[in-house]
């Protein structure tokens, strides 16, 4: 059980962050969380396992997370095209593109929340807590089981939504998104520069080779897979600085996205996302190439994003409504659980440092 504990932790943490900490589900809707766990949990676990089994790092996981976001909200639950999803029209705003039958703002929001929070944040948090950060957590039979669990979970979500919504997008809409998903997967596994062979671990996988500044290859800098610009010098900022950056950056996008509901803000929100994402990629890529970048900094980014969800959950109205008092209690409970998880991570980072 101890060997697969990180996998179980990620399987449970992904739906918790993706739905409950977001504020989308109430405290009394834990049963819905169990239904969503196979898709969220197995999806996050598959992305992490595939990346680590192939010796890759965060660039691969981020691209696969974007593909996951489009798969979940596209072919699986059809939110990208359904103008009456859960009784709401989220499409026909100022950023609606009639030729595609899609909302640019909604698509951007879906990519942001699933890529950052549903997938990458849970992976980063669990990898921080465990000591097996860049190696597989599952043997081949376990991996196959997770694949089957994800497929079953996705089918259940599709059938459940269809039974309620009775909506199916057109073949060309689904086909178009499928092409984008395939392109993202192909980009995630683009050939990488060959490096020195690493010794195999006890699961038959390759361990990242240690070097004076950490590990080398795409798992460099705590498995980030990022290389800083040529000539980068200096020392990486402390984890708390990176965490503050993560909190400010994600809040700059998701905060107004939650609080401002006016139609005119849709394109502003799209531009904000592009600016935040672009600055974030440039800054993190530079920091990851500096001496001292490690799991503490990766944890800082995830912790900052987690805190953004903690505070934005309170003004968020759950998808199924409910009383304001019940929503407040639920958000407080979920926020408390998140703080406990972050506390464990802080302690682990401190132990690693010393």
Mean pLDDT, the chain, rounded, equals 89
Convert the pLDDT of each residue in 65-85 to its tens digit.
Answer: 999 999 999 999 999 999 999
Q: What's the burial of 142, exposed, middle or buried (CB within 10 Å: 0-12/13-18/19+)?
A: middle
pLDDT band at 97 (very low <50, low <70, confident <90, very high): very high
What's the rounded mean pLDDT across residues 32-55? 95
The pTM of this model reads 0.89
Give strand pairing partners of 102.
Answer: 97
Decide if pLDDT at 107 tops 50.
Answer: yes
In tens, the pLDDT along 110-125 reads 999 999 999 999 999 9
pLDDT at 38 > cutoff 70 = yes
Q: Whole-angstrom Cα distance, residue 288 to residue 294?
A: 8
pLDDT value for 224: 60
Bridge partners of 206? 200
Q: Enumerate the H helices of the chain as residue ranges.
A: 5-15, 30-53, 58-71, 104-112, 121-129, 140-165, 171-188, 220-223, 239-259, 265-288, 295-312, 324-353
Band (pLDDT 50/70/90 cuts) for residue 193 is: low
Give the model's pLDDT for residue 199: 42
Across 4-13, 83-92, 194-203, the highest mean pLDDT is recorded for 4-13
| CA–CA distance, 44 with 64 (Å, rounded to integer) | 9
H or E stretch at 215? strand 214-215
User: For residue 113, what pLDDT is reported?
Assistant: 96
Mean pLDDT, to the nearest integer, of 176-193?
92
pLDDT attached to residue 207: 45
pLDDT at 344 over 80: yes
Per the CB < 8 A criterion, the answer to whether 181 and 67 are in contact is yes
Residues 204-213: tens digit of each pLDDT: 444 444 333 3
Average pLDDT of the segment spanning 138-156 = 96
Of 8-17, 269-278, 305-314, 315-324, minimum mean pLDDT range: 315-324
Q: What is the pLDDT of residue 192?
A: 67
Cβ atoms within 10 A of the Cβ of 112, count? 20
- pLDDT band with cut points at 50, 70 and 90 for residue 354: low
Residue 191 — very low, low, confident or very high, per pLDDT cuts 50/70/90?
Answer: confident
Per-residue confidence at 196, pLDDT binned at 50, 70, 90? Answer: very low
């Amino acid at each position: 059980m101890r060997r697969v504990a990180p996998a179980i932790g990620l399987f449970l943490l992904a739906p918790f962050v993706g739905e409950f900490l977001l504020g989308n589900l109430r405290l009394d809707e834990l049963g819905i969380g169990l239904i969503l766990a196979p898709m969220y949990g197995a999806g996050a676990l598959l992305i992490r396992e595939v990346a680590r089994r192939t010796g890759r790092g965060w660039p691969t996981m981020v691209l696969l997370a974007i593909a996951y976001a489009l798969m979940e909200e596209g072919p699986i639950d059809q939110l990208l095209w359904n103008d009456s999803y859960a009784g709401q029209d989220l499409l026909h705003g100022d950023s609606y593109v009639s030729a595609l039958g899609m909302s640019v703002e909604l698509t951007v929001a879906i990519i942001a929340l699933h890529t950052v929070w549903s997938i990458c944040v849970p992976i980063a948090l669990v990898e921080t807590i465990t000591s097996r950060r860049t190696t597989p957590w599952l043997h081949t039979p376990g991996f196959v089981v997770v694949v089957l669990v994800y497929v079953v979970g996705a089918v259940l979500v599709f059938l459940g939504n269809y039974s309620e919504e009775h909506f199916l997008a057109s073949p060309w809409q689904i086909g178009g998104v499928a092409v984008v998903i395939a392109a993202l997967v192909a980009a995630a596994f683009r050939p990488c520069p060959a490096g020195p062979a690493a010794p195999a671990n006890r699961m038959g996988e390759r361990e990242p080779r240690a070097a004076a500044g950490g590990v080398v290859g795409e798992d460099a800098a705590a498995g980030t897979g990022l290389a800083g610009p040529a000539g980068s010098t200096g020392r990486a900022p402390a984890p708390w600085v990176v965490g503050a950056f993560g909190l400010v950056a994600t809040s700059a996008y998701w905060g107004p996205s939650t609080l401002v509901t006016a139609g005119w803000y849709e394109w502003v929100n799209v531009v904000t996302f592009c600016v935040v994402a672009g600055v974030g990629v440039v800054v993190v890529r530079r920091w990851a190439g500096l001496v001292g970048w490690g799991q503490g900094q990766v944890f800082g980014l995830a912790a900052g994003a987690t805190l953004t969800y903690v505070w934005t959950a309170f003004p968020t109205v759950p998808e199924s409504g409910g009383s304001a008092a019940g929503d407040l209690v639920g958000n407080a409970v979920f926020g408390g659980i998140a703080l406990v998880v972050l506390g464990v991570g802080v302690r682990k980072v401190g132990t690693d440092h010393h």
